[in-house]
Chain A
């Protein structure tokens, strides 16, 4: 019983505090509520550490059991340890910290940034192959999607402006008006859904933090 009710009470207490703070933003209470917001970020930071431990555990088990591709798991574990060591060591030691010229920032600039950009650019090819499937004009809805996407793509490059005069202006109008019409409808729906879900969580009707 307590296993279920204590998390519900914690969620209610902190959630209600945030809601009350909006209506009663007065000195002492407001200070406490702002402090609690900071506590939320602190607990989230601990969740990051838990996530890293979990990655370490999963890859450690893979190495231990010599599962498929276990050698690559060693790469993950070693890079994570190296990154954590350089990042957490004090700046005064010369090799620690996140300052310019530190090994931590060097690894970030030369590994994380290019790999992130390449991963995203790789999606251009997958999106292009998906386009062949999506752009099969079978219905009016699919035609509208395909035609709009083509106009937006043509209007985004200078060559498009030469091949199809006015396509750049048309693209701007589509992005500012037609795209925003759909987006606005979705945003209103999402906001209503988020508000009702948040209320359900605070009142304990929904418990996404876990159940027995």
Chain B
């Protein structure tokens, strides 16, 4: 029974959100507000059950670590933000969080991104394996594989020069930075195409869900269309708000 009810709710919420493609309407607003409520509740419960209870309240109740009173205090002062008079106290908690994560970020970004990316770009200019693969099986892709390493080595330098603003981009620097922006545009185009395909995959998934559960989809869909007609006739939905 709960499973069936769950499917009907899922279908209703899916159609309610897709109804935004028609125009902003009460069904979409309902789903939007429901989402905010559910999401906020979900994340708070997750934080309380996974972080606060095991790492703060349970050790405090066992009196095992009195030092935990300090993060408790820093956490509680955050709520002073709701007070007009003492809101400055909330900065203490924020400063602790910002300080800790700034300290971690230095080596997180340094070791995790900067060093690794530079190291990954230290490549042989001529890749012998790629040449061997091309000799064995000559074609466009095997030819492009030969170009991969030179493109990486020179391309990253060109992209970095595009972000170098201490000198005017004229002459040789202008040409290098121009190549850099071309490579950036290709990179953005690839990311864009990939994102579009990922979103379309999600849409196909939702559409398949609607087709598999076609009875609730048809019933709720028809009821929604009737509701839209009634709302349009009674003037509850402004036709000028057309999406």
- Which one of B41, B117, B197 lies within 8 Å of A153 (CB-CB)? B197
**Band of interface residues on A:** 35 or more
Total interface residues in chain B, CB < 8 Å:
115
Question: Within 8 Å of chain A (Cβ to Cβ): is B166?
Answer: no
Q: At the interface, is chain B mostly helix, strand, loop or mixed?
A: helix
* Number of residue pairs spanning A and B whose beta carbons lie under 8 angstroms apart: 404
* Distance A112 CA – B105 CA, assembled complex (angstroms): 31
Residue of A nearest to B57 (CB): A42
CB pair B67–A35 under 8 Å, yes or no, is yes
CB pair A118–B98 under 8 Å, yes or no, is no
- Distance in Å from the Cβ of B12 to the closest Cβ of chain A? 10
Most chain B beta-carbon contacts within 10 A, residue among A140, A174, A212? A174
CB pair A179–B190 under 8 Å, yes or no, is yes
CB pair A41–B17 under 8 Å, yes or no, is no
Question: Within 8 Å of chain A (Cβ to Cβ): is B70?
Answer: yes
CB pair B33–A72 under 8 Å, yes or no, is yes
- Distance in Å from the Cβ of A142 to the closest Cβ of chain B? 8
Question: Within 8 Å of chain B (Cβ to Cβ): is A16?
Answer: yes
CB pair A84–B41 under 8 Å, yes or no, is yes
CB pair B21–A122 under 8 Å, yes or no, is yes
CB pair B183–A182 under 8 Å, yes or no, is yes
Question: Within 8 Å of chain A (Cβ to Cβ): is B135?
Answer: no
- Distance in Å from the Cβ of B116 to the closest Cβ of chain A? 9
* Distance A140 CA – B44 CA, assembled complex (angstroms): 48
Collect the chain B residues with CB atoms within 8 Å of residue A12's CB.
99
CB pair B93–A181 under 8 Å, yes or no, is no
- A209-B94 contact, Cβ under 8 Å, with A49-B47, A118-B17, A180-B152: yes
CB pair B186–A189 under 8 Å, yes or no, is no
Residue of A nearest to B154 (CB): A181
- Which one of B37, B93, B148, B152 lies within 8 Å of A77 (CB-CB)? B37
* Distance A206 CA – B68 CA, assembled complex (angstroms): 28
Known: A15-B99, A121-B206, A144-B186. 6 other contacts (CB 8 A): A48-B43, A69-B29, A72-B32, A73-B33, A120-B199, A177-B152
Could you list some 26 contacts between A and B, CB below 8 A? A3-B91, A7-B95, A11-B99, A16-B103, A42-B52, A43-B75, A45-B47, A45-B51, A45-B56, A46-B78, A47-B78, A72-B29, A80-B36, A87-B42, A114-B14, A114-B209, A121-B203, A145-B192, A153-B196, A157-B197, A173-B148, A179-B194, A181-B152, A182-B184, A183-B191, A187-B114
The 8 closest A-B pairs by CB, nearest first: A182-B187, A83-B41, A18-B103, A185-B159, A79-B37, A87-B45, A152-B193, A148-B189
What residues make up the interface of A, taking CB atoms closer than 8 Å to B?
A: 3, 6-8, 10-19, 22, 35-55, 57, 69, 72-73, 75-84, 87-88, 98, 104, 106-112, 114-125, 127-128, 131, 134, 140-142, 144-153, 156-157, 166, 169-170, 173-192, 194-195, 197-199, 201-202, 207-210, 212
